[in-house]
Structure 1
């Protein structure tokens, strides 16, 4: 699941070529933004799983 998200995010990262005159710093600014989105998504999934575990443990008792 997360691997697919990373691959999808990487599609938005521009590839460098000789025709592109933008400094690499401008291209690298995209990466922290994409990583933050992935991190937030991961944290939401963890929270949902923790709640599900708590619910299952309560049902078990």
Structure 2
């Protein structure tokens, strides 16, 4: 009986950890996608220039 409860508890903990890991990976993927979009927007708008390029333009 005691072993059965221990196994059930460990299964629940493993599921909880697995779900947390999946959520974290989804959040990371979302952040990476947002970052790529931001960088693309900055390049398109001309905001991604280096300091030398800005000095030349001014």
Tell me how far apart the structure 1 counterparts of residues 41 and 8 of structure 2 sit (CA, whole Å).
Answer: 52
Gaps (5+ residues) in structure 2?
44-58
Tell me how far apart the structure 2 counterparts of residues 49 and 28 of structure 1 sit (CA, whole Å).
Answer: 31
With a CA cutoff of 8 Å and minimum separation of 6, indicate the structure with the bigger relative contact order.
1
Gaps (5+ residues) in structure 1?
1-20
Could you tell me how far 1:25 is from its partner in structure 2?
2.2
1:52 equivalent in alignment to 2:24: no
How many pairs does the alignment contain?
Answer: 41
**Within-5 A mapping of 1:36-47:** 36-47=18-29
Structure whose alpha-carbon radius of gyration is higher: 2
Bigger helix share: 2
Could you tell me how far 1:24 is from its partner in structure 2?
1.7
Using the size of structure 1 for normalisation, the TM-score is 0.59
